[in-house]
A and B are shown apart, each in its own frame.
Chain A
Amino acid sequence: SQQGEEDPQALSIQEGENATMNCSYKTSINNLQWYRQNSGRGLVHLILIRSNEREKHSGRLRVTLDTSKKSSSLLITASRAADTASYFCATDGSNAGKSTFGDGTTLTVKP
């Protein structure tokens, strides 16, 4: 069973708009990661946020983590057509040593 669940399942926006994706999980975690996947092949690591962190930035990406609500959000600002992809959150549980992925959010950015 999947630990993380992304919401929404699909998101379509215009270039230049911001995109927000959410991830909820069930059990305590060491860290939470966000990945991007193009064309159903290899995933690209975007950001890792640890359980004692609340917010991280990387370029146009901002990730927040609320451990009390067991949720995270990924914000992509000033989106571009090249941001079109599937985005996955993955949680590394306290004793797991492995990350468990959700089923992703499919983002479409229209030029």
Chain B
Amino acid sequence: GAGVSQTPSNKVTEKGKYVELRCDPISGHTALYWYRQSLGQGPEFLIYFQGTGAADDSGLPNDRFFAVRPEGSVSTLKIQRTERGDSAVYLCASSLTRGDGYTFGSGTRLTVV
């Protein structure tokens, strides 16, 4: 597609539930990144994929968070047993290759109640 697409744009879930957030990057972009952003702060790195593999998952806060990119295109961020502290805007970005500028999606606003 023309840009990075993230779905859903908003997600409200109850504490303890499981959620999946989807990112569809720009076609041909090999690098894909997940960030999350809380109000008044900059994006916080979660995980980076180069192709199908997670090249760096050091930003995932704990083992409740997991992300996949099985065919090197679409990626899914999965959060188990959600907590209220997980509430944030989850941003996905892609770049043609490592070291290029990012194209961001519009984000998914996750609210855990």
Tell me the A residues contacting B by CB distance below 8 Å.
2, 30-31, 33, 35, 40-45, 48, 88, 90, 92, 96-104
- Tell me if B107 is interfacial: C-beta within 8 Å of chain A: yes
22 contacts between A and B (CB under 8 A): A33-B101, A33-B102, A40-B37, A40-B89, A42-B4, A42-B105, A42-B106, A43-B91, A44-B104, A48-B100, A48-B101, A88-B42, A88-B43, A97-B31, A97-B48, A97-B50, A98-B45, A98-B48, A98-B59, A99-B45, A101-B43, A103-B40
Closest-CB distance, A55 to chain B (whole angstroms): 17
Using C-beta atoms within 8 Å of the partner chain, give the interface range for chain B.
20 to 34
A104 B56 Cβ-Cβ under 8 A: no
- Chain B 83-104 against A: per-residue CB contact (8 Å), 1 yes, 0 no? 0000001010100001111111
- Tell me if B39 is interfacial: C-beta within 8 Å of chain A: yes
Instruction: Report the number of A-B residue pairs with Cβ-Cβ less than 8 Å.
Output: 62
Closest-CB distance, A43 to chain B (whole angstroms): 5
Closest-CB distance, A97 to chain B (whole angstroms): 5
Complex CA–CA separation, A111 to B44 (angstroms): 33
- A interface, over-half SS: strand
> A5's closest neighbor in chain B, by CB?
B42
B41 A103 Cβ-Cβ under 8 A: yes
Q: Which of B48, B56, B99, B100 has the most CB of A within 10 A?
A: B99
For B59, what are the chain A residues with a Cβ–Cβ distance below 8 Å? 98
Complex CA–CA separation, A52 to B34 (angstroms): 28
Complex CA–CA separation, A2 to B31 (angstroms): 21
Closest-CB distance, B37 to chain A (whole angstroms): 7
Residue in B39, B44, B56 whose CB lies within 8 Å of A97: B56
- Chain B 57-93 against A: per-residue CB contact (8 Å), 1 yes, 0 no? 0010000000000000000000000000000010101
For A90, what are the chain B residues with a Cβ–Cβ distance below 8 Å? 102
A102 B102 Cβ-Cβ under 8 A: no
